[in-house]
Structure 1
Amino acid sequence: MNGVRIGIIASLLLVVWIVWPKGEQSAPPRPLLIKSALKEAKDPVIVLGDSIVRQAQLPRTLCKRPVVNAGIDGSTASSGLDGMLKKAIGDKKAALIVVSLGLNDAETRDSVESYRRNYTALLTALKTMTTRLAVVAVTPLEPGKPDVGNRTPQSVDGYNAALPDIARDTGADLIAMPAMPAGFTSDGIHLSETGAAIWTKAVSDGVTATLCPNG
């Protein structure tokens, strides 16, 4: 009987192994990867945000501090990123937390007032985990491309118009985004290689201006 049971269990384990997702889909969830990256990082620069952040090829270090990419696809200003980051960082503090959010808020047609309220609440919560904060301007859309969805240039413009006040009210620095050339996205939302290079340089320059303006 024991042999039969062992055989059944072994067969079940084999089936589980066969159907378990392989490759990219079997990777650990982003919060676990972020927690792992923060475990050994001393005084890190944390870049928090949505898929624009997650897909960015950020420098390994800025101002002699490790850079941790904490981008999670689909994130909005009301996604509870502060709770996720608190669990990941524990009792440590970051040298700087940079936040880049807005395109998914625009997809849900969140009003400017709601965006302002949610973003302010998020930054206020993040202040307990860092000595400095910065917010990044929302990247524009490329209308007519497949992933624009419910987003409109007017909604993104409204968010960007609110960001200086949000930054001022929370003591955060504002990182502006330069004008983007044609073809700066791959699908209307996500950045192409050209757009990503511009975005990454703007964020890197913003971090440097905040943390080590004198080199």
Structure 2
Amino acid sequence: MRKRFLVGFIVLASASLVYRLLDTPVEKLRQDATLQRVQDFMTRHGSERPVAFVGDSLVENASFSPAICGRPVFNAGYAGAIASGVLQLVKEFDRIKFSPGIVVISVGVNDSLVVDRRPFAESYQEIVQRAGALGAKVFVVSLAPIAGSGVLANAIDRSRFADIDRVIRQTAHDRSIPLIDVGTLRTQASPQVEDGIHLSADGYAAWTGTIESTINRQCP
């Protein structure tokens, strides 16, 4: 009984923490830090048009190749990101004249933990539109699988998770842009760590491998 109570408390605390991160200036601070890294990148690389990854902690913690399609890679992921936050970041890219050659969008799992003020579909479709307006080739990444249980996996609204994944896939279809399907990750060990959401070393190997191989087959 005590163990079940403790697990339940951890789940509620984790969900509450995620909500506070998304509903306070913390996300704005993370966006600002990301934009500072963008400006540092622009100073170092001049007019080079990189492959820019935008999204949440799955993106932030990924070890992508230093170059894809002959372009340097810039990782603009940050923990706790939701669709409306990524949209704001992409708007800022335009403001500071950051012009990636490729934008890879991987966001949505945090939107299945909390309900944003703006529907996911509206924010997501605008992200795709604005990324394309930067002159970039856009790729979208489906949601990675989550475990059957885990501290964070248990807090996921699975119905909303499925709806978000459908929005991502439908947006790719409607706009005729490449979908990188990571809905199934083939690994020898569990693709997730104990929280049921974040990826293990094997999970990341499959996830990044699928993403990079898909982009490399369709270099602009």
TM bucket normalised to smaller = 0.7 to 0.9
The structure 2 residue matched to 1:165, chosen from 163, 167, 170, is 170
Secondary structure of 1:67's partner? strand
The structure 1 residue matched to 2:140, chosen from 135, 144, 151, is 135
- Residue 68 of structure 1 is matched in structure 2 by 74
Long gaps (5+) in structure 2:
1-31
Indicate conservation of the 8 Å contact 2:51/2:73, yes or no: yes
Indicate conservation of the 8 Å contact 2:143/2:183, yes or no: no
- Residue 9 of structure 1 is matched in structure 2 by none
The structure 1 residue matched to 2:59, chosen from 42, 53, 57, is 53
Q: How far apart are residue 128 of structure 1 and its match?
A: 1.9
Aligned identity (percent) is 24
Structure number, greater radius of gyration:
1
- Residue 93 of structure 1 is matched in structure 2 by 99
Long gaps (5+) in structure 1:
1-27
**Aligned partner letter, 1:101:** V
CA displacement 1:52-74 (0-9 Å, x = unmatched): 00000000001111111110111
Indicate conservation of the 8 Å contact 2:50/2:73, yes or no: yes
The whole-number CA distance in structure 1 between the counterparts of 2:192 and 2:42 is: 30
The whole-number CA distance in structure 2 between the counterparts of 1:56 and 1:136 is: 14
Q: Is 1:183 aligned to residue 201 of structure 2?
A: no
The whole-number CA distance in structure 2 between the counterparts of 1:128 and 1:68 is: 18
Q: Is 1:126 aligned to residue 163 of structure 2?
A: no
CA displacement 1:100-145 (0-9 Å, x = unmatched): 001111111469x922221001111222213310100111211321
| TM-score where L is the length of structure 1 | 0.76
The whole-number CA distance in structure 2 between the counterparts of 1:50 and 1:84 is: 17
Indicate conservation of the 8 Å contact 2:102/2:136, yes or no: yes
Aligned length: 182
